[in-house]
Amino acid sequence: MSSNAATLPPNLARMVERFARQSDPKQRYEQLIWLAKKLPEFPESEKVPENKVSGCVSQVYIISGLNDGKVVYQGDSDSQLVKGLVAFLIQGLNGLTPEEILKVTPDFIQQTGLNVSLTPSRANGFYNIFQKMKKQALSYQLSE
Protein backbone atom coordinates (compact mmCIF):
# COMPACT_ATOMS: atom_id res chain seq x y z
CA MET A 1 0.00 0.00 0.00
CA SER A 2 1.42 3.34 -0.94
CA SER A 3 1.03 6.55 1.07
CA ASN A 4 0.17 9.72 -0.74
CA ALA A 5 -0.28 13.12 0.85
CA ALA A 6 -4.06 12.59 1.02
CA THR A 7 -3.72 9.41 3.09
CA LEU A 8 -0.91 10.59 5.35
CA PRO A 9 -1.69 11.84 8.86
CA PRO A 10 -2.23 15.66 8.70
CA ASN A 11 1.06 16.73 10.33
CA LEU A 12 3.13 14.36 8.21
CA ALA A 13 1.27 15.46 5.06
CA ARG A 14 2.11 19.10 5.93
CA MET A 15 5.80 18.23 6.40
CA VAL A 16 5.88 16.33 3.10
CA GLU A 17 4.22 19.21 1.24
CA ARG A 18 6.59 21.76 2.80
CA PHE A 19 9.61 19.84 1.47
CA ALA A 20 7.98 18.96 -1.86
CA ARG A 21 7.57 22.70 -2.60
CA GLN A 22 11.35 23.19 -2.45
CA SER A 23 12.91 22.39 -5.80
CA ASP A 24 16.44 23.25 -4.70
CA PRO A 25 18.20 20.49 -2.69
CA LYS A 26 20.20 23.19 -0.85
CA GLN A 27 16.93 24.72 0.43
CA ARG A 28 15.76 21.30 1.60
CA TYR A 29 19.03 20.92 3.54
CA GLU A 30 18.58 24.39 5.05
CA GLN A 31 15.06 23.44 6.08
CA LEU A 32 16.37 20.27 7.76
CA ILE A 33 19.02 22.27 9.65
CA TRP A 34 16.31 24.73 10.77
CA LEU A 35 14.16 21.80 12.04
CA ALA A 36 17.19 20.37 13.86
CA LYS A 37 17.71 23.63 15.73
CA LYS A 38 14.07 23.59 16.90
CA LEU A 39 14.27 20.06 18.30
CA PRO A 40 13.96 20.06 22.11
CA GLU A 41 17.00 19.10 24.18
CA PHE A 42 17.42 15.32 24.43
CA PRO A 43 18.25 13.90 27.89
CA GLU A 44 21.86 12.66 28.04
CA SER A 45 20.68 9.85 30.35
CA GLU A 46 18.66 8.42 27.44
CA LYS A 47 21.71 8.07 25.16
CA VAL A 48 21.93 4.36 25.84
CA PRO A 49 22.28 1.40 23.43
CA GLU A 50 18.59 0.40 23.50
CA ASN A 51 17.56 3.90 22.32
CA LYS A 52 20.19 4.05 19.57
CA VAL A 53 19.08 3.63 15.96
CA SER A 54 21.11 0.86 14.38
CA GLY A 55 22.21 1.11 10.76
CA CYS A 56 22.98 4.84 10.93
CA VAL A 57 26.44 6.26 10.30
CA SER A 58 25.61 9.09 12.73
CA GLN A 59 24.74 8.60 16.38
CA VAL A 60 20.92 8.71 16.49
CA TYR A 61 18.69 8.19 19.52
CA ILE A 62 14.91 7.90 19.65
CA ILE A 63 12.73 7.53 22.73
CA SER A 64 8.97 7.60 23.03
CA GLY A 65 6.16 7.58 25.53
CA LEU A 66 2.44 7.09 25.45
CA ASN A 67 0.27 10.01 26.54
CA ASP A 68 -3.52 9.51 26.47
CA GLY A 69 -3.13 6.77 23.87
CA LYS A 70 -0.93 8.96 21.63
CA VAL A 71 2.76 8.36 20.97
CA VAL A 72 5.16 11.18 21.83
CA TYR A 73 8.71 10.95 20.49
CA GLN A 74 12.00 12.61 21.37
CA GLY A 75 15.20 12.23 19.40
CA ASP A 76 18.71 13.45 18.80
CA SER A 77 21.69 12.99 16.50
CA ASP A 78 25.28 14.17 16.44
CA SER A 79 24.78 15.26 12.81
CA GLN A 80 22.70 18.43 12.25
CA LEU A 81 21.32 17.11 8.96
CA VAL A 82 20.30 13.77 10.46
CA LYS A 83 18.91 15.61 13.49
CA GLY A 84 16.75 17.50 10.99
CA LEU A 85 15.48 14.19 9.60
CA VAL A 86 14.70 13.09 13.17
CA ALA A 87 12.82 16.37 13.75
CA PHE A 88 10.93 15.88 10.46
CA LEU A 89 9.70 12.45 11.58
CA ILE A 90 8.94 13.60 15.14
CA GLN A 91 6.84 16.52 13.88
CA GLY A 92 5.10 14.24 11.40
CA LEU A 93 4.33 11.38 13.80
CA ASN A 94 4.00 12.92 17.29
CA GLY A 95 0.52 12.77 18.75
CA LEU A 96 -0.70 9.88 16.62
CA THR A 97 -2.02 6.61 17.99
CA PRO A 98 0.18 3.54 17.55
CA GLU A 99 -2.33 2.25 14.97
CA GLU A 100 -2.06 5.45 12.91
CA ILE A 101 1.75 5.29 12.96
CA LEU A 102 1.79 1.64 11.92
CA LYS A 103 -0.34 2.45 8.84
CA VAL A 104 2.27 4.91 7.49
CA THR A 105 4.56 3.44 4.84
CA PRO A 106 8.05 4.90 4.20
CA ASP A 107 7.40 5.77 0.57
CA PHE A 108 6.31 9.29 1.58
CA ILE A 109 10.02 10.22 1.42
CA GLN A 110 9.81 10.16 -2.39
CA GLN A 111 7.18 12.91 -2.26
CA THR A 112 9.46 15.16 -0.20
CA GLY A 113 12.22 15.12 -2.81
CA LEU A 114 14.66 14.34 0.00
CA ASN A 115 15.45 10.94 -1.48
CA VAL A 116 17.25 12.62 -4.41
CA SER A 117 19.01 15.09 -2.09
CA LEU A 118 20.27 12.60 0.47
CA THR A 119 23.29 10.36 0.13
CA PRO A 120 22.36 6.65 0.06
CA SER A 121 23.66 6.20 3.63
CA ARG A 122 21.54 9.13 4.90
CA ALA A 123 18.46 7.90 3.04
CA ASN A 124 19.04 4.48 4.63
CA GLY A 125 19.45 6.18 8.02
CA PHE A 126 16.14 8.02 7.53
CA TYR A 127 14.47 4.68 6.82
CA ASN A 128 16.08 3.09 9.92
CA ILE A 129 14.93 5.99 12.13
CA PHE A 130 11.40 5.62 10.75
CA GLN A 131 11.49 1.85 11.38
CA LYS A 132 12.65 2.36 15.00
CA MET A 133 9.76 4.78 15.56
CA LYS A 134 7.30 2.27 14.07
CA LYS A 135 8.77 -0.51 16.24
CA GLN A 136 8.21 1.63 19.35
CA ALA A 137 4.61 2.32 18.26
CA LEU A 138 4.08 -1.41 17.75
CA SER A 139 5.31 -2.13 21.30
CA TYR A 140 2.59 0.19 22.66
CA GLN A 141 -0.05 -1.49 20.54
CA LEU A 142 1.08 -4.94 21.74
CA SER A 143 1.03 -3.85 25.39
CA GLU A 144 -2.60 -2.68 25.27
| pLDDT tens digits for range 62-117 | 999 999 999 999 999 999 999 999 999 999 999 999 999 999 999 898 899 888 87
Strand partners, 65: 72
pTM of the model: 0.92
- How far, in Å, CA of 75 to CA of 83, rounded? 8
pLDDT value at residue 143: 77
Say which of 13, 56, 109, 114 is annotated catalytic. 56
pLDDT value at residue 3: 44
For residue 10, with 0-12 CB atoms within 10 Å meaning exposed, 13-18 middle and 19 or more buried, which class applies? exposed
User: Which is higher by pLDDT, 6 or 103?
Assistant: 103
φ and ψ of 124, to 5 deg: -65, -40
| pLDDT tens digits for range 19-52 | 999 888 899 999 999 999 999 999 999 999 999 9
pLDDT value at residue 25: 86
pLDDT value at residue 117: 79
Does residue 128 carry a pLDDT above 70? yes
- How far, in Å, CA of 136 to CA of 103, rounded? 14
pLDDT value at residue 23: 85
Instruction: Respond yes or no: is residue 56 known to be catalytic.
Output: yes
